[in-house]
Structure 1
Amino acid sequence: MERNSPTVLVGRKVVPGKEAEFAEWMTRVTHAAQGAPGHVAVDVQRPDSAHPDEWMVVYRFEDADSLGAWLVSDERLQLIEEGADLILGEPRVQVFAATAGEPGVRMVTSYLLREDGRTVHRTVHEEVLRELEKYEGFREREILEAVPGVQPETVVILTFDDEVSLRAWLDSDVRGQLLSRLDPHIDGTYATSVLGGFAGWFS
């Protein structure tokens, strides 16, 4: 798969009543990111029907070193400390590389996979891919395996031409049947975000 610049997706839930303060704080964070070495683009999505209780922020950098330097920079860590009282729980963070190509609709799903479920997970997702290839508008699937100490969640990224194509897959009986086989091997719940294609955001 052809890859583009490394990207981090951050989802945050805001303390009720603190939305205006959070928006102001988020503006400061994005301005700081824009001034960081290697910054390519940043996109902020307010809560909507796809992610009704989360603010989604996507950062893109030229290379992994630049992204890593921003994530651990004193300026960013100071801002994170200042905004801690505005955020519910821990942020949901996923790091991956954006896929080159035309804009599309991307569904990012993350979950904690139990140790005894890895073989079943691989088997089921190969069946998922075979089924997806039958759907008009499906582009590609990417699985980012959990990395102990770095990214505890398994992340699955599905890209479609448009929302209609994605909806056809989400509403299909075969998808429900396949996921029901995975459920006993998932620790907790799925976290899913439906987002526009990253290529469109960062043009």
Structure 2
Amino acid sequence: MNKNAIIEGIAAPLPIANLDTDQIMPKQFLRGIDKAGLARGLLYDMRFDEQGRPREEFVLNQPKHANASMLLGGSNFGCGSSREHAVWGLQQSGIKAVVASSFAEIFYSNAMNNGLMLATVSEEDMKRLFKEESSSSAPLRLRIDVENLQVISSTGSARFMLSDRHRNMFLHGLDMLGASLLHKAEIEAFAERWYGNHPWLKNVAALARDRLNRQSGTQ
């Protein structure tokens, strides 16, 4: 079995509609020049008070969800700015998947490109999952079957939507660049045909740069 085909873990409920990327990863954690250290910023203002002390009532600070690797999210999860740091912070905190009834488009693309699974299920299935999670003192365990597009819990299963392109990217551990390179031969063949029919367009930028360099060198 493909190692990426199954995701299993504890799911923590975060039933907040329109949770935006500034809440997921506040702006003060975007000052670095790389991806490192973003786990600390994840949902910071929800997790900690003004003195930096953990808020006991927040779901990820509770013992029941201490080992959560999935989130049950509200509708339009990840709206707001396009910061990719929100996805990186979730992953660095151990979150492997988010299940919700809808996601913001840019956040969805960022997640798929970085291997964070987003499972879009119906509103009815979300209500059932939230009810199942809240009705027990034990943590809710989910199994996400990426091959068969199913979110499975002890009370049943929910089908989720995923395009063939994103499904294949996830199963094979590819980002958009890697997925594009699978078609390298077709891309090169197209380029050869195109430049064969439009030779004056080939290497236009390089030719223009060289001409400008020659002109500046003679002045």
TM range (shorter): under 0.3
TM-score (norm 1): 0.26
Structure number, greater radius of gyration: 2
Q: Which structure features the higher share of helix residues?
A: 2
Greater percentage in strand:
1
| TM-score, normalised with respect to structure 2 | 0.25
Q: For CA contacts below 8 A with separation 6 or more, give which structure has more relative contact order.
A: 1
